[in-house]
Amino acid sequence: MVAKNPFLERWDTPEGRDARWEAVLWLMHGGDRPAGFGTTDEGRLDLRGLIVPEPVELADIVVPSAVPGNTMTFTQTSGRVKIAGQEWMDVDLSYSWLASLGVENFRWVNCRFDAAVLRDSRIWDTDVQDCTFESADLRGAPIGTATLAARDTWWRNVSFRDAVMGAGGFLSGWHAEDVSFEGAKIVGLDFEQVTLVRVVFDGKLRKVHLNNRVVEGDPAPGPLVDCDFSRCTFDDVEFENVHLTNVAFPPGSVVVGNAVPVAGRALRLLPDDDERGVGFARDQLRVDAGSPGTDAVGAAAFALSDLGDGENDNALVRSYVGSLEWAARELGTPILLDGGVFVGPPAPVPGTEGDGGKRRGGFWSRRDHE
């Protein structure tokens, strides 16, 4: 739900409309900070409630799909506002309408985007520090690096509290330190080749896929360090090839260290028969052991509730999880069967002092307050 803009009237007068274009042009092209806008109580340039024009839909283009007899429809647009190669510092764009914005090779420092609409915006190759996106609408927004661009994008000390995210959006090549997703509504969001350091989630995560498999041409993934999912509910959530150090998981989740060797060992330990539970475990383990881009030390995580579809599936789930537990014990690999803290080895964090993950303020981490 989009928050009502309490600053709309300031931009809806003849003077306000002129000021609006002056502000938009400055945001796009930089230069001297625009005069006459004043500052907020916190000292930021006051552009709250600004409305940036959205692209205009020109036509729908229908093309054949790969499935015979089916088609795909693409909407041709014009007029996307694009900004690149600049920096916004000490700017307040809370309650602003920034939908479908195109951002690339940019830097945001000490800015507020609280209750702003950034739906479908492309925020690529952009470093962000000391910013808030609380109650913002980021649905459908690809954040991080441009697709197939192996560039680092760092977001440090950022709050997404109560934001709305997902609906086809993704975070790719996205490195985060001291970031809060507390209270955020996250549905249908993919994390691809990410580094998460002291990142906190809570509430329900639905249709979330964290994929740190190594893919040629994509950004290199980093570890998850000191992250907290312990107060989450997982619904169709899966982690692939994640390197974990002190990461807390909620009850009902299974975390398997060295997931590929464990799956391979479990396959060899299964009895050679056609019993239904064994067949289910074998099929699942073949997928686990054969995922491309995984390595020998990457962990996997999933929710038990996502495996079964009712009481009749309990035996199948037990067979599969039991085979993982059996193999992990034999290999001396850590495994969590009902959530908890996955300790793991100390993990270097790329791009930080000495690659050792030097601790910053950390005040977004709830565990620092408890």
CB atoms near residue 354 (< 10 Å): 8
CA distances from 150 to 146, 230, 298 (A): 8, 31, 20
pLDDT at 320: 84
Three-state secondary-structure class, residue 325? helix
Position 49 pLDDT exceeds 80: yes
Closest among 34, 14, 32 to 22, alpha carbons compared = 34
Q: Nearest 5 degrees, angle CA 254-CA 359-CA 299? A: 20
| The two structure tokens encoding residue 181 | 């997703």
Please say whether the beta carbons of 293 and 319 come within 8 A. Answer: no
pLDDT tens per residue, range 289-347: 667 778 888 899 999 888 765 444 577 788 888 889 989 999 999 999 999 999 988 87
- Classify residue 353 by its DSSP letter: G
pLDDT tens per residue, range 121-137: 999 889 999 999 999 99
CA–CA distance, 53 with 80 (Å, rounded to integer): 8
CA–CA distance, 141 with 171 (Å, rounded to integer): 8
Residues 6+ apart with CB under 8 A from 89: 107, 108, 109, 110, 111
Closest among 132, 96, 134 to 117, alpha carbons compared = 96
pLDDT tens per residue, range 223-258: 999 999 999 999 999 999 999 999 999 999 999 998
For range 152-160, the mean pLDDT:
91
Query: What is the distance of C-alpha 143 from the center of its chain?
Result: 8
Rg (CA), the chain: 23
pLDDT at 8: 79
pLDDT at 360: 33
Residues 6+ apart with CB under 8 A from 344: 243, 244, 245, 246, 247, 257, 299, 334
Torsion of CA 194, 196, 199, 200, to 10 degrees: 60
Three-state secondary-structure class, residue 170? strand
Q: Where are the alpha helices (DSSP H) in the chain?
A: 14-29, 259-269, 276-289, 314-331
pLDDT at 9: 81
Average pLDDT of the chain, as a whole number: 82
Residue tagged 């491309």 (tokens): 292
pLDDT at 65: 61
Closest among 240, 213, 86, 220 to 152, alpha carbons compared = 220
pLDDT at 4: 73
Q: Where exactly are the structural domains of the chain?
A: 8-51+80-369
